[in-house]
């Protein structure tokens, strides 16, 4: 049966383990008293440490030294971490399920969870429709000289566009145009809509060829992928935790990249344009597509919302980052996004 520790003892045990992992040196009460979040006197800390030692969560490697974690202490620490991370992922999954129609809120939360989980800077791009396909097109009369084109893309992305027309369309002609567009375009990506197909559609539309051109322009606008992709970031100030990144010039360049996001957009486009872009990619130092991150490591993964909709998840930290933890965290989030959103795909 596991020993139940008070909240204060748990906080002190976690502080001892964190400090020991960072320094490799036995930890004393004076060191722990400097942890502002503890806000305890050295005497109180010594008493709690004596209890933790008696319970065999920590021990003294030699006389006059501080304490270090025992295997039992490490086990409790790891179990606590696992519970915390599982709770975070469960909370994230619940948010995703509740807000499947609010992708932006889900992705903002995902960036926060990643930053909290890794202690690095994180970014998540909104999904783009590169390679996405047309599911349905509906033209409807709005006014005599206006129609609305409702275009449904893969991933159930729905866009409306008002089109001005030169002369009123009869219900019969509107029905014919709807049939022409759907029989010719359903299942096609923008790359597959070539000049020959456009010429054939315009020829078959006769006097209404301009309507066809306008609808195809609207489709192209929807599918277009450019550098203006929405990017959600979190944990930028985590950069200051790492001395090799926190000097004035490096920190300024990285934070500027996160604030302006242009370079992050280039990273997203680069990641999504890769042929094999669903696996995890690691860029170390000069390998990073973002020039201002030459002193960093950048780890990215691509998630899919189904039907060609893809986005990028990225973690930016020092070259000495915990790669195994970062890749496991990315993989888990990637799978959650894939699983939840592909249910509706």
Could you report the per-residue pLDDT of 180-226, keeping only the tens digit for each?
999 998 888 777 888 888 888 889 988 888 888 888 887 776 655 44
At residue 93, the pLDDT reads 57
Residue 43: Cβ within 10 Å count: 10
Q: Measure the CA–CA gap between 195 and 210, rounded to whole angstroms.
A: 15
Q: Does 252 lie in the same domain as 120?
A: yes
Residues 115 and 151 grouped into a single domain: no
Integer Cα distance of 272 and 313 in angstroms: 11
**In this predicted structure, what is the pLDDT of residue 315?**
92
Low-confidence ranges of the chain (pLDDT < 50): 1-2, 99-100, 225-227, 275, 344-345
Beta strands in the chain (DSSP E): 58-59, 68-69, 121-125, 134-143, 146-153, 157-164, 231-234, 281-284, 296-306, 309-318
| Token digits of residue 42 | 């050295």
Last residue of a domain, one of 188, 210, 225: 225
**Interval 300-327: pLDDT, tens:** 888 876 656 778 888 998 888 888 888 8
Q: What pLDDT, on a 0 to 100 scale, did the predictor assign at position 342?
A: 60
Residue 218 and residue 148 share a domain: yes
Same domain, 170 and 243: no
116 and 239 part of one domain: yes
Contact present, 238 and 115 (Cβ < 8 Å):
yes
Residue 38's domain is classified under what CATH number? Answer: 1.10.10.10
CATH number reported for the structural domain that contains residue 283 in this entry: 3.30.450.40
219 and 234 assigned to the same domain: no
Instruction: Say what the pTM is.
Output: 0.51
Q: Are 290 and 267 in contact (CB under 8 A)?
A: yes
Are 48 and 25 contained in the same domain? yes
3-state secondary structure 19-34: HHHHHCCCECHHHHHC
Domain count, the chain: 3
Distance CA 328, CA 104 (A): 23
Domain hosting 167: range is 134-225
Please check whether residues 315 and 296 belong to one and the same domain: yes
Q: Which residues contact 345 (CB under 8 A, 6 or more apart)?
A: 154, 155, 305, 306, 307
Both 112 and 238 in one domain: the answer is yes
> What pLDDT score does 129 carry?
62
Judgement on whether residues 256 and 311 belong to the same structural domain of the protein: yes
Residue that the structure tokens 């399920």 belong to: 97
């Amino acid at each position: 049966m596991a020993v139940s520790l008070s909240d204060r003892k748990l906080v002190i045990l976690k502080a001892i383990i964190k400090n020991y992992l960072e320094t490799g040196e036995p930890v004393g009460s004076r060191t722990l008293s400097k942890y502002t979040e503890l806000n305890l006197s050295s005497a109180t800390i010594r008493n709690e440490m004596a209890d933790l030692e008696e319970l065999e969560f920590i021990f003294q490697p030699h006389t006059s030294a501080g304490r270090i974690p025992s295997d039992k202490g490490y086990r409790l620490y790891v179990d606590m971490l696992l519970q915390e991370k599982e709770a975070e992922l469960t909370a994230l999954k619940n948010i995703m399920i509740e807000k499947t129609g609010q992708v932006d809120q889900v992705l903002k939360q995902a960036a926060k969870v990643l930053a909290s989980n890794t202690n690095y800077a994180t970014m998540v791009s909104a999904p783009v429709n590169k390679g996405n396909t047309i599911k349905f097109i509906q033209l409807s009369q709005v006014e005599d000289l206006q129609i609305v084109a409702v275009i449904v893309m893969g991933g159930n992305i729905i866009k409306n566009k008002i089109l001005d027309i030169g002369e009123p369309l009869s219900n019969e002609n509107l029905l014919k145009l709807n049939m022409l567009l759907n029989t010719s375009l359903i299942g096609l990506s923008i790359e597959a809509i070539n000049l020959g197909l456009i010429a054939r559609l315009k020829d078959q539309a006769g006097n209404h060829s301009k309507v066809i051109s306008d609808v195809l322009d609207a489709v192209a606008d929807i599918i277009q992928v450019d550098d203006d992709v929405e990017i959600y970031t979190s944990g930028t100030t985590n950069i200051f935790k790492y001395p090799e990144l926190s000097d004035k010039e490096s920190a300024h360049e990285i934070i500027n990249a996160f604030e302006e996001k242009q370079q992050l957009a280039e990273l997203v486009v680069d990641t999504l344009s890769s042929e094999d872009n669903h696996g995890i990619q690691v860029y170390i130092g000069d390998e990073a597509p973002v020039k201002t991150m030459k002193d960093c490591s950048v780890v990215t993964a691509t998630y899919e919302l189904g039907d060609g909709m893809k986005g990028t998840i990225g973690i930016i930290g020092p070259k000495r980052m915990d790669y195994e933890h970062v890749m496991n965290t990315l993989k888990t989030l990637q799978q959650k996004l894939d699983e939840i959103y592909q249910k509706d795909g």
